[in-house]
Amino acid sequence: MSTDVSPTARALRALEILQTRPGATADELAERLGVTERAARRYVGILREAGIPVESARGPYGGYRLGRGTRLPPVVFTQAEALGLVMAVLDGQPAAADVDDLVGAALGKVIRALPDSVGRQAAALREHASAAPDRHSARPDPDITGALVAAVAARRRVLATYRSESGNEWEAEVDPWAVVVRYGRWYLLCHSHRADAIRTYRVDRVRAVQQTAHEFELPDRLDPVAALEENLGIGWEFSTRVVFDAPLAEVAAWIRPPMGRLEPSGDGCVLVGSTSNPVMYAQEWLASVPFTFRVDGGQELRAAIASLASRFAAALANQA
């Protein structure tokens, strides 16, 4: 057990836990703090001595929670925490180095609120570090994202207006299960009532969100990340079916979840999925798979591959 963290620091960490998990028991506090249950109770005592009303209740629904009207102390960062925060923001949004950027302006406020000894290094890191933008990332609208997260937390069904990559727009009635960030892109994992199936929507393509009065229950033992990976290639406008002669175990290493679901088929395997962008599917995804294949379904994908093959053939024409 670590001994280099002061009792005050652990008490403040206990306060953070009670803010996010009201009703936490002494045992839960102890587990999250990495201390004994007796020590956790001592940190609660420190908070009470500091004038922070921490109420406790016994029974199956008991635990600790902050009293109403609690005025919390200002957030205090260590130097390592402050630098880690700046690094994470710049890594996730390189434009935050610019003070005119929305997130950059918020980061500047955080840095200015830090003690001088900590803020000086954080400001220097932000000024002199450079980050290259990820061309595959996409920044969703903060208001749209906030509305979806609020619906997820409240477990309320929403009406979402969505525009696909091909420009088609529709309104979907969905139960928003989770918002998942994957490789710089934000996704909504949900149950679509129109399709009566799981769907994954890019949050940056959601144009409007309206929360309804209908409540929903999450599936038992839902793993949002695993469910997203499994369903990324399902439900888009253009169906795809690609057959490989190579064994599934060899092909699987080259297949990304958005491409669809890989299934065994005889001595080879078949990739069944869908896409809203057949051209990208053909020239960025399939072209990188080093195995012979044939498109067994999806006329849009067949047309995209024919166009790509024609371009490559033209590049070699009339050469000795």
Hey, where are the domains in the chain? 7-66, 79-128, 142-222, 238-315
> Cα separation of 46 and 194, whole Å?
53
pLDDT level of residue 202 (50, 70, 90 thresholds): very high
The percent of residues above 90 in pLDDT, for the chain, comes to 44
Would the CA dihedral through 280, 285, 288, 292 be positive or negative? negative
CB 298 within 8 A of CB 272: no
pLDDT level of residue 4 (50, 70, 90 thresholds): very low
Q: Does domain 142-222 have CATH number 2.30.30?
A: yes
pLDDT level of residue 86 (50, 70, 90 thresholds): confident
Instruction: Identify the burial level of 320 via C-beta atoms within 10 angstroms of its C-beta, where 0-12 means exposed, 13-18 middle and 19 or more buried.
Output: exposed
Bigger pLDDT: 34 vs 212: 212
Rounded to 10°, the helix 116-128/102-113 angle is 150
Q: Where are the beta strands (DSSP E) in the chain?
A: 54-57, 63-66, 156-163, 169-182, 185-192, 197-202, 206-215, 238-244, 261-265, 268-275, 293-297
Residues 6+ apart with CB under 8 A from 301: 238, 240, 242, 275, 278, 281, 282, 295
pLDDT at 47 over 50: yes
- Average pLDDT over the chain, rounded to whole? 86
CB 293 within 8 A of CB 254: no
Phi, psi angle pair for 312, to nearest 5°: -65, -40
Bigger pLDDT: 76 vs 52: 52
Q: Does domain 7-66 have CATH number 1.10.10.10?
A: yes
pLDDT score, position 1: 38
- Separation of CA 44 from chain center: 33
Q: What is the pLDDT of residues 146-163, one digit of tens each?
A: 999 999 999 999 999 999
